[in-house]
Amino acid sequence: MLNLTPDEWTAIRLSLRIAFVATIVALPFGIAVAWLLARKNFWGKSLLDGVVHLPLVLPPVVTGYLLLITLGRKGLIGGFLADLGIVFSFRWTGAALACGIMGFPLLVRAIRLSFEVIDRRLEDAAATLGANRVWTFLTVMLPLALPGIIAGMVLCFAKALGEFGATITFVSNIPGETQTISAAIYTYTQIPNADAAALRLVVVAVVISLAALIVSEWFARRAGLRYHGD
């Protein structure tokens, strides 16, 4: 056993909750954007694609700072939301938002690739049988894209689990509220003789990430066999 302390368990549970919420909330938006980029041609498509993937190339601290000046209590939008009782900065919900934004490009890319390889003739066949666009999307495209959706969700979850720069800039490093595994490891590296605690959390992060990848591979294989055959 790793003999984790209560504070370390708290950081682990908080990281899992943040990563899970970030992935689930980002999923419908990711599917919609992926479908739009894969199936539609429109003015500004390249710009939208660039904006979606921008968090991959921007320093995470820049993303966190942009969130802070936009959604902070005195931000352009954050001030209005604060008056309504909705606060993201220095809250775990803000950490989930930052993690979701950082993982969003990976989610979209995996789902988009799945949509792009679906034969358009299947959609045409569904239309000739009387299915409208919504029903075709729900019963044809989504099931066929399921392996990519699962892969995208795992990539987003893993990115959210390990995110550090954007979250610490936007929501700081508050134990029990915003201190994730990554933030806790950083804290331990700043404390003398805390190497053992940092190593324990490193091991936990590796185990969780590896388990997520194995489970996602299993689900992706099952989905592939179900909808594509051998």
CATH code (residue 196) = 1.10.3720.10
Instruction: Note whether residue 161 is domain-resident.
Output: yes
In a domain, 7, yes or no: no
In whole angstroms, what is the distance from residue 163 CA to residue 124 CA?
A: 42
pLDDT exceeds cutoff 80 at 224:
no
Q: Check pLDDT > 80 for residue 2.
A: no
Query: 94-104: per-residue pLDDT in tens?
Result: 999 999 999 99
Long-range CB pairs of 116-119, under 8 A, 24+ apart, other chains included: 116/38, 118/144, 118/145
Res 46 pLDDT > 80: yes
> For the residues 106-116, what does the mean pLDDT come to?
91
> What's the structural domain count of the chain?
1
Predicted pLDDT at 36: 93
> Does position 227 have pLDDT exceeding 60, yes or no?
no
> Residue 221 — very low, low, confident or very high, per pLDDT cuts 50/70/90?
confident
Is residue 5 predicted with pLDDT exceeding 90?
A: no
Domain containing 105: what range? 12-228
Rounded to whole angstroms, the Cα distance separating 27 from 22 reads 9
Quote the CA–CA distance of 183 and 175 in Å, as a whole number.
Answer: 9
pLDDT of residue 127 exceeding 80: no
For the record, the structure tokens of 195 come out as 């190497």
Structural domain contains residue 172? yes
